[in-house]
Copies of this chain bind each other. A is one copy, B any other.
Amino acid sequence: MKIAISTGGGDAPGLNAVIRGAVLAAVHRGWECVGIRKGYDGLLGQEQLVPLGPAEVRGITHLGGTILGTTNRGDPFHWRERLPDGTWVEHDRSEELVRAFRAHGIGALIAIGGDGSLRIARHLLDKGVALVGVPKTIDNDVGGTEATFGFDTAVQTATEAIDKLHSTAESHERVMVVEVMGRHAGFIALSAGLAGSADVILIPEIPYEMDRVCNKIRQREAEGRHFSMVVVAEGAVARGGEEVYLDAERRRLGGVGDRVARVIEQKTGKETRTLVLGHLQRGGSPTTFDRLLGLRFGAAAVRLIAEGKFGHMVALDPPTIVSVPLDEALAAPKRVPLDSDSIATARDLGISLGD
């Protein structure tokens, strides 16, 4: 038996642990393993297949990034190529990919990726590729699993940043706005905001009103707390749209963090600064939780293959790793439930959620 591993989409701390878990579990069964460099580029592009054995996955559990490389631009159904004249064209190269799998004698594929990569995997399954999925998302918004590797590390990175900003916010009596990841789901903002003692947390699931945000800051001011910490998910949106607060010119500038900061400064007169954490959240050594989850996901993916459960992905249903059909997971992306106890905790702690 020969299996291949591919990773697609953005980095997530723990990717290398998944690879290690899968490779060792495969070798343990006497199987052969290869890695496809940079999504499917190792089969369709200039990159190569790389053999993966115990030596290749030694000492990588705690390393950020991925030894296979990754990419956001590797959809075999819409493969982009640059022509000599500089323009881009798209081909469907999926058939070619399926042939390449066969040509290399690959019996099964472990596709590690987020929503996008898992959808591509789902289509490859229809083309006859025997595959299982491993969900990967910093934002924790893939359905069917309680958590994915990388999320805990991202929350830790964001919390550490909020911690560091707290002391200077207080010394300088400023409002600090920290923009964290979370395009559709506010898990990072909510978790890091709670753990970092934020005063305001704005998430995509709850449209915010700037008056509520500013009232919270004014209320703190009145209590002698001359600084405030605002955590904003990149996907947070104003109720009724931002045109309520900013003219077209100003909406153009910066992300939601900058825009929220500008309105706060204007409305409250408090000096306000923004920090956009950006890719800091995707990097670095995974936390112990993410290392462990990665190893377990990797080993479980191999067990799924051994059981012939193709079209499924591994998932965490604490304390157990289970399998979930890809169709089911992709049908219901995760969002912060408004009746969750984390939301209740935030309100109990007196944190404003902007509503």
Residue in contact with A295 in the complex, picked from B166, B299, B345, B350, CB distance below 8 Å: B345
For residue A288, which residues in chain B have a CB less than 8 angstroms away from its CB? 152, 155-156, 159, 191-192, 195
Interface residues of A in 21-45 (CB under 8 A from B): 21, 24-25, 28
Are B65 and A167 interface neighbours, CB within 8 A?
yes
CB closest chain-B residue, reference A24: B349
How far is A292 from B345 in the complex, measured between Cα atoms in Å? 10
* A340 interface hit (Cβ, 8 Å): yes
Contact residues of A: prevailing secondary structure: helix
Q: How far is the CA of A64 from the CA of B169 in the complex (A)?
A: 12
The answer to whether A170 touches B65 (Cβ under 8 A) is yes
Q: From residue 145 to 161 of chain A, which have CB atoms closer than 8 A to chain B? A: 146-147, 152, 155-157, 159-161
* Proximity bits, A337-355, B CB within 8 Å = 1, else 0: 0001110110111100000
Q: A61-B195, A194-B291 are in contact. List 11 more A-B contacts (CB 8 A).
A: A10-B168, A11-B167, A24-B349, A61-B197, A64-B163, A64-B167, A69-B171, A159-B288, A167-B283, A292-B342, A303-B344
Name 27 interchain pairs, CB-CB below 8 A, sorted by A.
A10-B171, A11-B171, A21-B345, A21-B348, A24-B349, A28-B347, A28-B349, A59-B197, A70-B172, A147-B318, A156-B287, A159-B291, A160-B284, A163-B284, A164-B284, A165-B279, A167-B282, A167-B283, A169-B279, A194-B291, A194-B292, A287-B289, A289-B289, A299-B344, A303-B348, A319-B342, A320-B340
